[in-house]
Structure 1
Amino acid sequence: MEIKARGLTFEVSAAGPEDGEPVLLLHGFPQDNREFDRLVPYLHEAGLRTYALNQRGYSPGARPQEVSAYRLREAVADAIAVLDELGIEKVHVVGHDWGAQIAWLLAANHPGRLRTLTAVSVPHPRALMLAIRVRPSQKARLAYFEVFRSPRAERLLLGRDAAVLRWMLKPLRAERVQRYVDAAREPGRLTGGLNWYRAFTTDQIAKTGVITVPTTYVWSDRDGVVGLTAALRTADWVSADYQLMAMRGVSHWVPEEAPQELADAVLARIGV
């Protein structure tokens, strides 16, 4: 379906029992809402209704040209506006990568709209900032941010038949990698995704508060982006019921590599 909100048009894939409790799914880079298509059957079987949002930069009707339009507060406002248009007052939220970052901010700033939070791969922002300060290895893991902020990033990722993009996604099956490569070649699509990096500044997350909704954080030991320190210290920033689920032998692309295990974590958090 298409949802018009905030002067933009967002693609939302809605599925599952119409009377099921709603679950909002927020994707990351360089994927889109299809990264959850191996996860959602498990949620539907459990009686849940899913809404997988293509966020700004990814929905063709939601690609502002200004880099400043991709600040995190805009994506947070998008999610709230889409929920309003759908008539959903409270929702379970599952976010991966940038989607997890938005999910943490939703939980921190709009706790009354969330029933539960399941954040995948990206930890609480304050835990990550601490890890960057005390672990040089964590800072090194995020060095790619500056590459993605470069005006040459599009050419770097898509050059030589998208060799760099394919390398990033190499843990995934070839047909899944190809779908994201094809999408990245759409006019404006890759720039929209990269603008999240270009618009990012630490002040956007520096004051993220303690989370007061029931939360699960899913971390995987082969994630090249987030190390163990940030994963462990996330517990410091959740005052509600909390669980850290650590996956072994799984890379950053959890929803597509380990959908059943992730579904187990989501369903346990939701309590169905």
Structure 2
Amino acid sequence: MKPPTSPDLSLVRLPEAVLHVASAGPDDGPLTILLHGFPEFWFGWRHQISALAEAGLRVLAPDQRGYNLSSKPSDLAAYHLDRVADDVLALADHHGAARVRLVGHDWGGIVGWWLATRSPERVERLAVLNAPHPDILAAYARRHPVQALRVGYFAAFQVPRLPEAGLRAAGFLALRQALHLTSRPGTFAAEDIARYREAWSQPGALEGMLNWYRAVRLKRRTLAGPITVPTLILWGRKDVALSPGLAAACLARCEDGRIEWLPEATHWLHHEEPERVNTALTAFLRA
């Protein structure tokens, strides 16, 4: 696979936030927004941005609010799922797009699921990488104690200030180990980790990143009914935190969906098997 080219980087001022955005691809291509998760930033999509842009898509990969160079509000309500989802629609509005194609991993996938459920008229296609629908995760964890234990860190992150101190200690050792121990050996090179450490070091970043987890305790609507948006689920079966059963449960809610399993991939499938992920995404998003 050829090395990715560098995207354009800019700050985009939206009604509620300023987002730092990596962009590539033709201006008249179908708008495609890539949403990262914890503890990444736009750089997590470096293997996908060029490939999708070369396929004719107009690609935007924002640092979501709370991350890297984007706005980091201190108010917990600013990280409510509806608010972070509204950032995505505001970004689409800024680019004059009535509908968008979304790709999300981890928390970015949760945002994608929520938008496809809450605002399906704005989502043309949805691709999700190892991320459960927010309603399905809670229900599944109640029925499967092992899954509940796997996401026990959600509760640990609710404590104020202490998690930030723990993650910052020893040069972000806990975050670095989390990436290395949950991925295949060699997935994250030293230069990649250096980029992540720079992002984690931004003022207010750790608090903003953790506020995504803390905001889960805020009241949110439960939206019933099927997901009508065409959906592709890409799932690494060796994810240590999220069971493959979650992917099957999410698929059951989709009217027009399918799963592509990556048997040897972990939670970090877009880093570990970029060519396969890029091929699947390109075929789906260009359909």
Band of TM-score, shorter chain: over 0.9
For 1:158, the equivalent position in structure 2 comes to 168
TM-score (norm 2): 0.89
Q: Residues 208 and 268 of structure 1: is their aligned pair in 2 closer, same or farther, counting only changes over 3 Å? A: farther
Once residues 174 and 6 of structure 1 are traced to their aligned partners in structure 2, the CA distance between those partners, rounded to angstroms, is 37
Q: Please, which of 26, 33, 43 is the counterpart of residue 35 of structure 2?
A: 26
Q: Residues 117 and 47 of structure 1: is their aligned pair in 2 closer, same or farther, counting only changes over 3 Å? A: same
Q: Residues 49 and 141 of structure 1: is their aligned pair in 2 closer, same or farther, counting only changes over 3 Å? A: same
For 2:195, the equivalent position in structure 1 comes to 179
SS in 2 for 1:37: helix
SS in 2 for 1:169: helix
RMSD: 1.7
Once residues 127 and 102 of structure 1 are traced to their aligned partners in structure 2, the CA distance between those partners, rounded to angstroms, is 13
For 2:24, the equivalent position in structure 1 comes to 15
Aligned residues: 271
Once residues 17 and 175 of structure 1 are traced to their aligned partners in structure 2, the CA distance between those partners, rounded to angstroms, is 29
Offset, 1:53:
1.3
SS in 2 for 1:204: coil
Q: Which amino acid aligns with 1:153?
A: P
Once residues 205 and 35 of structure 1 are traced to their aligned partners in structure 2, the CA distance between those partners, rounded to angstroms, is 30
Q: Residues 120 and 205 of structure 1: is their aligned pair in 2 closer, same or farther, counting only changes over 3 Å? A: farther
SS in 1 for 2:116: helix
Q: Which amino acid aligns with 1:260?
A: E
Does residue 57 (structure 1) correspond to residue 66 (structure 2)? The answer is yes
Once residues 158 and 269 of structure 2 are traced to their aligned partners in structure 1, the CA distance between those partners, rounded to angstroms, is 24
Once residues 179 and 235 of structure 1 are traced to their aligned partners in structure 2, the CA distance between those partners, rounded to angstroms, is 34
Once residues 132 and 171 of structure 2 are traced to their aligned partners in structure 1, the CA distance between those partners, rounded to angstroms, is 32
Q: Residues 231 and 179 of structure 1: is their aligned pair in 2 closer, same or farther, counting only changes over 3 Å? A: same
Offset, 1:125:
2.7
TM-score (norm 1): 0.94
Q: Which runs of 5+ in 2 are unaligned?
A: 1-9
For 2:75, the equivalent position in structure 1 comes to 66
For 2:132, the equivalent position in structure 1 comes to 123
For 2:271, the equivalent position in structure 1 comes to 256
Q: Residues 185 and 67 of structure 1: is their aligned pair in 2 closer, same or farther, counting only changes over 3 Å? A: same
Once residues 55 and 3 of structure 1 are traced to their aligned partners in structure 2, the CA distance between those partners, rounded to angstroms, is 12
- The worse-fitting range, judged by mean Cα deviation, of 56-65 and 157-166 is 56-65
For 1:220, the equivalent position in structure 2 comes to 236
For 1:2, the equivalent position in structure 2 comes to 11
The answer on whether the counterparts of 1:10 and 1:54 sit within 8 Å (CA) in structure 2 is yes
Q: Which amino acid aligns with 1:141?
A: R
Offset, 1:202:
7.5
Q: Residues 210 and 270 of structure 1: is their aligned pair in 2 closer, same or farther, counting only changes over 3 Å? A: same
Q: Which amino acid aligns with 1:168?
A: A
- The worse-fitting range, judged by mean Cα deviation, of 260-269 and 198-207 is 198-207
Does residue 265 (structure 1) correspond to residue 280 (structure 2)? The answer is yes
Q: Please, which of 168, 177, 180 is the counterpart of residue 178 of structure 2?
A: 168
For 2:5, the equivalent position in structure 1 comes to none
For 2:123, the equivalent position in structure 1 comes to 114
For 1:82, the equivalent position in structure 2 comes to 91
Once residues 33 and 205 of structure 1 are traced to their aligned partners in structure 2, the CA distance between those partners, rounded to angstroms, is 28
The answer on whether the counterparts of 1:39 and 1:256 sit within 8 Å (CA) in structure 2 is no
Offset, 1:262:
1.4
Q: Which amino acid aligns with 1:220?
A: G
| Higher-RCO chain (CA-CA 8 Å, sequence separation at least 6) | 1
Q: Which amino acid aligns with 1:48?
A: L
1:239-271 CA distances to partner (integer Å, 9 max, x unpaired)?
1x2111111221212222222211122122224
Q: Which amino acid aligns with 1:161?
A: G
Once residues 114 and 234 of structure 1 are traced to their aligned partners in structure 2, the CA distance between those partners, rounded to angstroms, is 17
Q: Residues 167 and 205 of structure 1: is their aligned pair in 2 closer, same or farther, counting only changes over 3 Å? A: farther
The alignment-based identity, stated in percent, is: 34
- The worse-fitting range, judged by mean Cα deviation, of 120-129 and 12-21 is 120-129
Offset, 1:209:
4.2
The answer on whether the counterparts of 2:64 and 2:70 sit within 8 Å (CA) in structure 1 is no
